[in-house]
Amino acid sequence: MPRESKAKKRERALITCRRMEEHYGGAESALDYHDPFTLLIAVMLSAQTTDAGVNRVTPELFRKWPDAFAMAQASPQEVGSVIRSIGFWRAKAKHCVEASQIIVADYGGEVPHTMKELTSLPGVGRKTANIVLNKAFHTCEGIAVDTHVFRIATRLGFTKAPTPLAAEQDLLDLIPRELWSPVNEQWIHFGREICTSQRPKCEECWLADICPSFERPDRYRKDAKKRKASDKKAGSPEA
């Protein structure tokens, strides 16, 4: 196959965003939260864990520790006892407590508003920071690339990056800034309904005509298994 020009790739990216908006415009987060702090904690917990799994533990978690001041006083063991049904719960419990302590000590109990400040918190990478900035503070500094966005971007040929962090930069280069904000939620819905990790519904896909992986998405799956094994070995909860 001839190499695709950047202009053609950008054209496909624009078509993708337009069709995503047509199908999933107004899509909301599946995570339950009610303020910037509970959003931050919920997103931290969601790494390599389903939103449904997070929503099962956060009612009790936020009943006991509703804000940074309360969670800063908890021990990782106490928090861990509430969230132990989700993946990487020990590391996540530790990060929740440590992040809360920093939020109280350095920011007066208020979740910080910048990418630099958020990513300085334990357990908070660019994906988490992007979601918090976008949803809590209506600030868009990037695209939150989770496992769904990463899979879709790879299958669509928008990135060959080995990690979500590197893939974000490729997407930012292709998609106009004014379209960054809805990418995460819309692509997550698409990834759950159509472009699933196992047995994607290519025959039902309304991006099939512009997808270079149409009916042959296994190429992504093999690489994903390698990355998943590497993440598991490293013990990192950030997805």
- What are 41-95's pLDDT values in tens digits? 999 999 989 999 999 999 999 999 999 999 999 999 999 999 999 999 999 999 9
Q: Which two tokens stand for residue 28?
A: 């909301």
Residue 41: phi, psi to the nearest 5? -65, -45
Which residue, 219, 222, 141, 214, is CA-closest to 184? Answer: 141
Residue type, 59: P
Does residue 201 have an active-site annotation?
A: no
Predicted local confidence at residue 234, as pLDDT: 41
Residue with tokens 């334990």: 122
Distances from the Cα of 183 to the Cαs of 63, 107, 109, 143, 190, in angstroms?
Answer: 31, 29, 30, 7, 10
Catalytic residue among 67, 92, 94, 127: 127
Residue with tokens 């690339």: 145
Distances from the Cα of 114 to the Cαs of 107, 167, 184, 231, in angstroms?
Answer: 12, 21, 19, 27
DSSP label of 209:
G
Query: pLDDT tens for residues 97-114?
Result: 999 999 999 999 999 999
Does residue 127 have an active-site annotation?
A: yes
Query: pLDDT tens for residues 195-212?
Result: 999 999 999 999 999 999
pTM of the predicted structure, to 2 decimals: 0.87
Catalytic residue among 67, 94, 146, 170: 146
